[in-house]
Amino acid sequence: MKILIIGGAGYIGSHVAREFLDRGHSVTVFDNLSSGLRGNLFPEAGFIHGDILDYTGLSRASAGFDAVVHLAAFKAVGESMVKPEKYSVNNINGTVNILNAAVEGGIKNIVFSSSAAVFGQPEYIPVDEKHPANPESYYGFTKLEIERFLGWYDKLKGIRFAALRYFNAAGYDIKGRIKGLETNPANLIPVIMEAACGMRETVQIFGSDYDTPDGTGVRDYVHVSDLAIAHAMALEYTSKNDKSITVNLGSETGISVLEIVEAARRITGKPIPATIVGRRAGDPAKLTASSKLAHELLNWTAKYSDLDTLIKTSWEVYKNQQ
């Protein structure tokens, strides 16, 4: 298929582009490079330097594609609470532009990068797709609103979508082909990697008094290569079955902050200084996914999301920064 990957120069988008190329699809990346990197582009893929807020450019760029994968969004939870305007414009208006350009261009399938952030505080775990969606952050709200837009465009315009609710994306391409670092990362594993290679002094552990086995927060880390595979499977599903889906993507395994720090020390051989500080506002003690539905519908399960693979593939990239 001819696939336009919007946000395809970013951390997850580049892995998705790689997976579609590996499967023999024709790929064009559309990215404004605000956080995406030229170094994340592949010579076999086309590239359009454009912005989803420029409707004319976007609709021109979208012509002739069979499907769109949409990963172009701001994703800093904390920032979204102080600058909601930025998230409204880019995430929501930008998506409306993508949907309208898809209608105009006759594109019938869209794969959307959604998030576990749509759920908010978990009422039970593992979180399945029936769990109520009450986002705690404005960022999560934008993702949920976009899912609702997708639902309407499905009903009214016949655009089939796959909304993929990622849990904690982590790791790097298992074949080592992607090496772009995120700037100013706030997520745990890149923060730990930066401490391991001397880019920062210490890791702050946000709380050690949670109701978890070691007192630190437990999350469901899912390898970015597993996520990339899910995008390809999801597009195959929506296009073959002419049916939209919303699925959770996680490893179904809970890993604590301390377990990650310890595994990173073992794998990197670096001391990785860590300090326990207070809890971060809004953090649940535990969050894990049920990915049963993704398994049933897509035959997807996480294959590369074990702790060692997450850390080893990340270290392969970060060790070059020492």
**Does residue 162 belong to the site contacting ligand WQD (CB under 6 A)?**
no
Q: Please say whether the beta carbons of 121 and 134 come within 8 A.
A: yes
**Does residue 14 belong to the site contacting ligand WQD (CB under 6 A)?**
no
**Does residue 144 belong to the site contacting ligand WQD (CB under 6 A)?**
no
Q: CA distances (Å), 315 to each of 40, 200, 238, 310, in order?
A: 17, 15, 35, 9
Bridge-based pairing state of the strands 255-256 and 218-219? antiparallel
* Amino acid (1-letter code) at residue 267: I
**Does residue 283 belong to the site contacting ligand WQD (CB under 6 A)?**
yes
Q: Residues touching ligand WQD: how many (CB under 6 A)?
A: 20
Stretch that binds ligand WQD, among 155-163, 197-205, 243-251, 306-314 (CB under 6 A): 197-205
Q: Please say whether the beta carbons of 288 and 282 come within 8 A.
A: no
Which of these, 50, 137, 139, 34, lies nearest to 86 by C-alpha position?
Answer: 139
**Does residue 74 belong to the site contacting ligand WQD (CB under 6 A)?**
no
**Does residue 212 belong to the site contacting ligand WQD (CB under 6 A)?**
no
Nearer to ligand WQD, 105 or 140 (CB): 140
Nearer to ligand WQD, 50 or 217 (CB): 217
Catalytic, 139? Answer yes
Continuous segment of H or E residues that includes residue 40 = none
Nearer to ligand WQD, 25 or 75 (CB): 75
Stretch that binds ligand WQD, among 7-15, 24-32, 111-119, 155-163 (CB under 6 A): 111-119
Which ranges of 202-320 would DSSP assign to H, the alpha helix? 224-241, 257-268, 292-298, 307-318
Nearer to ligand WQD, 99 or 205 (CB): 205
**Does residue 243 belong to the site contacting ligand WQD (CB under 6 A)?**
no
Q: Please say whether the beta carbons of 15 and 225 come within 8 A.
A: yes
**Does residue 205 belong to the site contacting ligand WQD (CB under 6 A)?**
yes
Rounded-to-integer distance, Cα 276 and Cα 123, Å: 27
Q: Which of 26, 100, 204, 239 binds ligand WQD (CB under 6 A)?
A: 204
Q: Which of 217, 230, 237, 310 binds ligand WQD (CB under 6 A)?
A: 217
The number of helices, as runs of H, and strands, as runs of E, in the chain is: 11, 13
The residue from 87, 138, 139, 153 that is catalytic is 139
* String of DSSP letters for 175-220: TS---PPPSS--SHHHHHHHHHTTSSS-EEEE-S-SSSTTSS-EE-
Q: Which of 18, 75, 160, 223 binds ligand WQD (CB under 6 A)?
A: 75
**Does residue 280 belong to the site contacting ligand WQD (CB under 6 A)?**
yes
3-state secondary structure 57-76: HHHHHHCCCCEEEECCCCCC
Q: Which residue has its beta carbon closest to ligand WQD?
A: 217
Nearer to ligand WQD, 148 or 175 (CB): 148
| Token pair of 181 as six digits | 């670092």
Nearer to ligand WQD, 155 or 280 (CB): 280
Give me the residues that bind ligand WQD (CB under 6 A), please: 75, 77, 115-117, 166, 168, 186-188, 191, 203-206, 217, 219, 257, 280, 283
Annotated active-site positions, please?
139
